[in-house]
Amino acid sequence: MKTLTGIFLDTGNLQEIRTYHALGVIRGVTTNPTILVKDGVLGGWEGIEERCKQIARMVEPLPVSVEVTTNDSDEMREQARRFHGWAANINVKIPIHGPEGETDNLRLIHELETQEDIRINVTAMMSAQQGLLAAMAGATYVSLFAGRVNNMGYDARQELRRLRQLLDACGSPARIIAASTREALNIIEWFEAGADIVTVVPQFIETMLVHPYSKETVRQFLEDGRTLQREGAPDVTMTGAH
């Protein structure tokens, strides 16, 4: 099994990225037009380009995934080249196939990776077999939308395990991303199931970090510390020692 890569922050908000990058807990950023609009990006392509460049500079050399906004092959190719030119650490998100099941996307993914040296993150996948095909086409990242798989009544961990075994068996260097996280528990479960990366919205990092009993314990330590300062001597019965 490959070495764990870690958490990709799923946002376009600069303050959120700055905050969690400073904690040292993220290993990349993912974003898309919907997220960027929600986070207040205006000005069309100029606004998108400026925000993506800001994110790339902020987390360099960590990777930043930016999604195409079209399913036309020529337009996707042009956008991929444009995004790639914004920063060396930007890679391009392309769905596994078109809205009606068109297969041209996989051909484009293969060409961009093998002929143009553009790193591709293949998205919108729901099964191990899709992930295997994307990896065989040369994708750097293969994103299984595990939260949506769970929404359909299936256990995404089974697909992640299958995909992990398949990629390891064929020696593929592709990195497995588990995406569309629904709750903090998903993060650990999906890593345990074989994901290299889990995309996480910022509030789930806080959920992972902050525990009510930790808060209670810290308050107890601080109160006992204030007691010691007032009394001027150590208290060997101090409850905080346990």
Q: What is the pLDDT of residues 207-216, one digit of tens each?
A: 999 999 999 9
Whether 215 is a known active-site residue: answer no
Please tell me whether residues 128 and 229 are part of one structural domain.
no
Please tell me whether residues 205 and 215 are part of one structural domain.
no
122 touches 91 (CB < 8 A): no
Please tell me whether residues 120 and 216 are part of one structural domain.
no
| Percent of the residues in the chain that have a pLDDT greater than 90, as a whole number | 86
Whole-model pTM? 0.90
What single-letter amino acid sits at 35? Answer: I
Please tell me whether residues 238 and 169 are part of one structural domain.
no
**Within a domain: residue 166?**
yes
**Within a domain: residue 25?**
yes
Q: What is the DSSP letter of 89?
A: T
- Work out the burial of residue 73: count CB atoms within 10 Å of its CB; fewer than 13 is exposed, 13-18 middle, 19 or more buried: middle
pLDDT of residue 120: 98
Please tell me whether residues 222 and 140 are part of one structural domain.
no
pLDDT of residue 1: 46
Query: How many whole angstroms separate alpha carbon 20 and alpha carbon 15?
Result: 9
Please tell me whether residues 220 and 134 are part of one structural domain.
no
Please tell me whether residues 173 and 241 are part of one structural domain.
no
Mean pLDDT within 73-93: 97
Compute the mean pLDDT over every residue in the chain, rounded to the nearest whole number.
Answer: 93
Please tell me whether residues 217 and 154 are part of one structural domain.
no
Please tell me whether residues 241 and 127 are part of one structural domain.
no
Please tell me whether residues 199 and 215 are part of one structural domain.
no
pLDDT confidence bin for 141, thresholds 50/70/90:
very high
Q: CA–CA distance from 67 to each of 122, 200, 216, 217, 225 (Å)?
A: 10, 16, 42, 43, 51
Domain with 239 in it: 211-242
Q: Inform me whether the pLDDT recorded for 232 exceeds 80.
A: no
Please tell me whether residues 223 and 182 are part of one structural domain.
no
**Within a domain: residue 231?**
yes
Catalytic position from the list 2, 38, 93, 215: 93
| Percent of the residues in the chain that have a pLDDT greater than 70, as a whole number | 94
Q: CA–CA distance from 183 to each of 3, 18, 100, 152, 208 (Å)?
A: 23, 22, 30, 16, 10
Concatenated DSSP letters for 131-198? HHHHHHTT-SEEEE-HHHHHHTTS-HHHHHHHHHHHHHHTT--PEEEE-S--SHHHHHHHHHHT-SEE
**Within a domain: residue 190?**
yes
**Within a domain: residue 183?**
yes
Kindly report the CATH number assigned to the domain that includes residue 24: 3.20.20.70
Number of domains in the chain: 2
pLDDT of residue 240: 52
**Within a domain: residue 1?**
no
Please tell me whether residues 49 and 30 are part of one structural domain.
yes
**CA nearest 64: which of 39, 32, 28?**
28
**Within a domain: residue 61?**
yes
Give every CB contact of residue 48 below 8 A, 6+ residues apart in sequence.
33, 36, 41
**Within a domain: residue 42?**
yes
* Cα–chain center distance at 37: 19
